Amino acid sequence: MPKIVDHDERRAQLTDALVRLAARSGLHSVTMRAVAAEAGVSLRLVQYYFHTKAQLMHAALARLTEQSNQRWAKRIAALAEPTSTRGYLRELLAEALPTDEPSRAFHLVWSSYAVLAMTDPELAAQPFIEGPNLLEGRLIEALESAHRAGELRPEADPSTEAARLLSINHGLATSVLIGQRGAAAAHAILNYHLDELFPDNLKERGHTQSRQDS
């Protein structure tokens, strides 16, 4: 009886091989043949599932995004109840920093993809900003709720602040990725900006620290 092939599993095998290669030597050096060798399959099999390198690269990015969303969901679900908006935002943004192998691989591939898409029409035609758009949407939703509850600075605009936090996070992610600063320093900077947005939360933390010191 012929073996039943799980096509989703096979695609995942191939995209995972691409990610491993990209994490080691950069996305620009990845070829269909190299992916086949990394996955331990024939080049013909890779070409059966992905007709072009661009399709394979986009599939790998989509898989990384799905895995990242799963890690987000797991991290948020692990938060103690009740969770403050600041705490929720911190975990949401902290997960987006490249502080372990899975998140580092995601940032390497996504950044490389973005650079290549600037000069490759086939890559540019594939939408790859769903991830950042999804994160920004979550930030806006949380900040709007906090603004209505009076948790934010009165003059803060949720949409603008969401864009600012996302931009800061992207910059911090790059700085960690290239070794400019460590994860602890990136988290400290992230906390600094969140404290600016949630002054009452900062006061409460200060009071708590004062009681502990005394």
Q: What tens digit of pLDDT does each residue of 85-122 get?
A: 999 999 989 988 998 888 888 888 888 888 887 887 77
17 domain-assigned: no
Look at residue 52 and tell me if it is in a domain: no
More confident residue, 23 or 209: 23
Q: Helix (H, G, I), strand (E, B), or coil: what is residue 112? A: helix
pLDDT > 80? residue 2: no
pLDDT at 124 over 60: yes
CA atoms of 149 and 83, how far apart (whole Å): 14
pLDDT classification of 182: cutoffs 50, 70, 90? very high
- The CATH number for 187's domain is 1.10.357.10
CA distance 159 to 65: 23
Number of independent structural domains in the chain: 1
Q: Which domain holds residue 115?
A: 63-213
